[in-house]
Amino acid sequence: MNKTEFLLKLKLQKGIGYVKLLKIANQLNEERSIKISDLRELDLSQKLLDACVRAFRDSELDRLVRQIYQQCQVVGFFDEAYPQKLRQIYRPPIILFVQGDISLLAKETMTIVGSRYPTNYSERVINRIVPNLIKKEIVIASGLAKGVDSLAHQAALRNQGKTIAVIGNGLNHSYPRQNFDLQREIIQNGVVISEYLPDTPPRPFRFPERNRILAGLSKGVIITEAKEKSGSLITANLAMQENRDVYAVPGPITNQLSAGPNQLIEDGAIPIIDFKI
C-alpha cells in the first residue's frame, strides 16, 4: 500500500484528526509503500498503533478509498505533485483532494483576496492587474467565495489565464451555491483543491483553516478591499508569517473597505500604486 492511500484510510477513520495524522506521517519511512510490519516499528501509543493496524486491514476503508479516487485526484504530502511551497508552511495539509489540472500546483502563483461585498473599485483593479500577471504566466489563486474571490477567478478565465480555487469544504459541495457554474468552469480550465474529504459540507470554521493554504501556496498575496477585521486579513497575516510578499490596494480613509488594506500597508505590506506587480 502506498503512503498516500494509507494516510487517506487513516483520515477516513474516526478519531484520527490532523495532529495524530501528522504524528504518524512524520514517522513513515522514505519508501513509497508501507507494509504492516512497518507500522509495528512506529513510536506511537498502543491505542494509536492499533488504529493504524485497523485502518491498514479495513476492507471497508479500501472501498471508500477507491470511491474517492473515482471522484478526484488525491495528492499526499509525500507525492511529487504536492506543491513545494505548501511543504514549508505551519500545519501543511497532509492530503489534498484535487479536480482539474494538477500541474498548476507546480506553477508560480499569486493569491488575490478581499471583501465578499466589494465596490467596483476592486473589480477595476483586478481587471487591470490580472492580465499583467497572466502575461508573466502566473496562476491566479483565490478561495471561490463571492465578491473579490469570484472576480479574481473570472478575470483569470476571461483573459485565458489559469486559476486555482482553494475551497473550505469538500469537492462534492459548491459554496456559495451561486458559484456552482464557476466551480465547474475552474475544474475545466484550472484546478480546485481542498484538504477536506469530498463529502465534507461547508462550515464557518473551515474557511479560516483553508486560508493558510491560500497564503502558503503562492509567492504573494494581494488584498484589494477588506474591512479592518476580515478573513482576508487573516490570509494576509498568515502570508507574512510564511515570508510571502503581501500587496495591498490603498484606498480612501473614509471607506470602511479600505481600512484593512491601509492597515496592512502601515504594517509593512507593499502598496499597489500601479497595475504591475
Neighbour order of strands in the sheet with 245-248 = 73-76, 95-100, 191-194, 163-166, 139-142, 109-113, 220-223, 245-248, 270-271
Domain boundaries, given as residue ranges, for the chain: 3-71, 102-271
**pLDDT, tens digit (0-9, with 9 covering 90-100), for 114-171:** 999 999 999 999 999 999 999 999 999 999 999 999 999 999 999 999 999 999 999 9
Burial letters for 115-137: b for 16+ Cβ neighbours within 10 Å, e otherwise? beebeebbbebbbebbbebbeee
- Separation between Cα atoms, residue 207 and residue 226, nearest integer Å: 16
The whole-number pLDDT of residue 243 equals 94
**pLDDT, tens digit (0-9, with 9 covering 90-100), for 194-231:** 999 999 999 999 999 999 999 999 999 999 999 998 88
**The model's pTM:** 0.94
234: left (phi > 0), else alpha (psi -120 to 50), else beta? alpha
Instruction: Give SS3 for 167.
Output: coil
Mean pLDDT of 71-84: 95
Indicate the fold that domain 102-271 takes in CATH: Rossmann fold (3.40.50)
β-pairing verdict for 73-76 and 95-100: antiparallel
User: Which stretch of DSSP H or E encloses residue 271?
Assistant: strand 270-271
